[in-house]
């Protein structure tokens, strides 16, 4: 039995009987992990603190058969998701995609860093661009992008990495709006390989 601390982003909240809960996090040090929480539903303060679109410092107690949440403190709120319904919905789609692709308790530090940076810098007006960026990064994480030759997919990923969401506002003119359908077509083609 031991305790550990890590940073995490809440992926899913499941309330159980007796006010207990199962909380699924994407963590920096453990990857995707599911933690049991006793009497979670009885504490309004705790339910408000442990919510979606926040970076949480979580303290984990590891027993013989399971892991439980000992404590959680919000270190950052991703306010961009509160701006409108569309970006909020997109954020929940991203959380669902992360739940699907992340194996249980396998670390993915680069993906965690990218997710944290993306969530911290999200702006409702850049939703389409951010979604493309996120989808290409996920496909890259899954190994769906070819690695041998400089392909169309790699060019798009390279462009999006060089002009990430934090500096994209200044550099939008480098990629004409007419290119968006081409990028979407490439993404659809890549996703066909996975699904």
The pLDDT tens digits for 140-153 are 787 765 554 456 55
Of 77, 97, 121, the residue at which a domain comes to its end is 77
How many CB atoms are closer than 10 A to CB 25?
24
Q: Please give the tally of structural domains in the chain.
A: 2
Q: Could you write out the DSSP letters of every residue in 99-141?
A: HHHSPBT---HHHHHHHHHHHHH--GGGHHHHHHHHHHHHHHH
> What are the pLDDT digits (tens) for 84-125?
899 999 999 999 999 999 999 999 998 999 999 899 988 888
CA atoms within 13 A on the CB side of 123: 10
Of 50, 77, 104, the residue at which a domain comes to its end is 77
Same-domain status, 123 and 39: no
- Is a pLDDT exceeding 70 seen at residue 19? yes
Q: Is the sign of the CA dihedral 121, 122, 126, 131 positive or negative?
A: positive
Of 30, 52, 77, the residue at which a domain comes to its end is 77
Same-domain status, 87 and 47: no
Same-domain status, 95 and 184: yes
Residue 129 belongs to what domain range?
81-194
> What are the pLDDT digits (tens) for 157-185?
665 555 444 444 444 444 445 555 666 66
């Amino acid at each position: 039995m031991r305790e550990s601390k890590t940073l995490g982003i809440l992926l899913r909240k499941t309330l159980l009987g007796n006010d207990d809960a199962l909380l699924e996090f994407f963590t920096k040090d453990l990857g995707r992990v599911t933690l049991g929480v006793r009497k979670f539903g009885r504490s309004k303060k705790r339910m408000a603190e442990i919510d979606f679109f926040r970076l949480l410092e979580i303290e984990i107690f590891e027993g013989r058969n399971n892991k439980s949440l000992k404590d959680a403190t919000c270190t950052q709120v991703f306010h961009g998701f509160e701006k409108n319904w569309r970006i909020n919905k997109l954020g929940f789609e991203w959380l669902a995609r992360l739940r699907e692709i992340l194996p249980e308790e396998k670390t993915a530090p680069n993906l965690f860093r990218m997710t944290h940076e993306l969530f911290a810098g999200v702006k409702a007006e850049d939703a389409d661009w951010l979604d493309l960026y996120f989808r290409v990064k996920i496909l890259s994480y899954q190994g769906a992008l070819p690695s041998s030759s400089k392909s169309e997919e790699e060019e798009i990923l390279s462009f999006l990495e060089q002009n990430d969401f934090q500096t994209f506002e200044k550099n939008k003119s480098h990629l004409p709006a007419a290119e968006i359908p081409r990028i979407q077509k490439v993404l659809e083609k890549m996703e066909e390989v996975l699904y």
